[in-house]
Homo-oligomer: A and B are copies of this chain.
């Protein structure tokens, strides 16, 4: 088994943190990022989806998309459970996991990719086509992240963890997304004390430190 990886990429960190929470060793890791923050051409040639992370199994099966890879590990290594034990819990966890991705991760990616000088003409991932940056997305992305912080303050005021009273994959995606936001200067606002409290607690887990 091999994980094709870009160490900085928050979507890769989601997988690494998930695997560590399972109590597993990280799989063999191949770093596929080259100069100018570009995926290596030889990687894109064999994996035209042109994204990381990607997990290659020993039988040759290749799985892309962070949550799809986590789903594989959840099935193969059910304990500890990170994605829910019954329908109600599975649905609730996935709802919060998707929000962390759609609102915070994508919002931050809009800011990052449409402003960073290394991403000129690479406004979205997953393609080698020329996709111009759209400066208006910087403001839109910042608004999305700001609203997400407020939403999570409401949720974490009432709940210890993102999806309720126990740790789940929703906490993993949220941590990776918020740390990405913090890295591009969108810190946890001072009027979100419960997000800060939660962030301190989750960051203290060994999986958080070891996945960076």
Contact = CB atoms under 8 A, between A and B. Distances in A.
A73 B90 CA distance: 10
Contacts of A147: 127, 129
10 contacts: A59-B88, A61-B92, A63-B92, A65-B98, A72-B91, A75-B84, A75-B87, A76-B87, A132-B140, A134-B140
Given A127-B147, A131-B143, A143-B131, A91 B68 contact: yes
A94 B68 contact: yes
A74 B67 CA distance: 17
Nearest to A66: B98
Interface string A74-94: 111000000010111011111
Contacts of A48: 151
Interface of A: 48-49, 55, 57, 59, 61, 63-65, 67-69, 71-76, 84, 86-88, 90-95, 98-99, 103, 123-124, 126-127, 129, 131-132, 134, 136-137, 140, 143-144, 147, 151
A180 B90 CA distance: 27
Taken together, the copies of this chain in the complex come to 2
A74 B126 CA distance: 29
A140 B132 CA distance: 8
Contacts of A69: 91
B95 A65 contact: yes
A75 B90 contact: yes
A66 to B, nearest CB: 9
A103 B65 CA distance: 12
Contact of A92 (B68, B84, B140): B68
Contacts of A87: 71-76
Scoring A55, A73, A91, A99 by chain B CB atoms within 10 A of each residue's CB, the highest score goes to: A91
B94 A65 contact: yes
A24 to B, nearest CB: 13
